[in-house]
Amino acid sequence: MHDNLPFTNKELVFLKELTRQKVEFIVIGLSAAALQGAPMVTQDVDLWFRDIDNSGIKKALKKVGGTWIPSLALNPPMFEGDHVQYFDIVLTVHGIGDFDAEKANTVDVPLGGFSVKVLRLDRIIASKTCLNREKDRMVLPALKSAAKALIAKKPRGAKREKRRSTP
């Protein structure tokens, strides 16, 4: 039904399979911001993996007919296939802590029957502030405005509890 739309069933199947395989990953970047409600525009869904050698990644890829392209020289590893075309592999995130530290700074976003860990908006802002590339500077004002909207939308007295799940 939604085959012409991005991020439909197969992409969701891939993410669901990653979680079923207990692959630890965090959705980061502007797609993470969009999942939390920020009105962003993004080409890809960046996935930050704790262990890129986790065999569950290849099992999940197989489930949707995707292929693992190993890294070569300066080229990082990547996914190939119609249903994984939106996903980018991220090995390192600058400006914030390592994977284990940042795992505590995520929110669980439900995607229909399962949920994924998504880097909190303030951490996305911290990373982009540190990177300070032109493309980061362009989106930072919007990210900051969206962050204020999210804070204001949260009900009072629901600080830590609400941080763990998306509004």
Partner 1 sequence: MQLSSDKFKKRCAQRRISLGDVLKQAGVSRTAYYSLIRKESVLPKSILRIASHLSISPVALLDNDDAKIKQIRRLQAKANVISSKYPECDRDVIFRTLLNLEKPPVERLRRALIRARQPTIHK
Quick one: 4 or 73, whose CB is closer to partner 1?
A: 4
Bridging pattern class, strands 25-28 and 45-49: antiparallel
Closest approach, Cβ 20 to partner 1, in A, equals 17
User: CA 26, 28, 32, 33 torsion: positive or negative?
Assistant: positive
Q: Decide if 89 contacts 52 (C-beta within 8 A).
A: yes
Which residues of the chain form contacts with partner 1 (CB under 8 A)? 5-7, 12, 30-31, 34-43, 45, 86, 109-112, 141-142, 144-146, 148-150, 152-153, 166-167
Closest approach, Cβ 50 to partner 1, in A, equals 22
Closest approach, Cβ 62 to partner 1, in A, equals 23
Q: Decide if 117 contacts 10 (C-beta within 8 A).
A: no
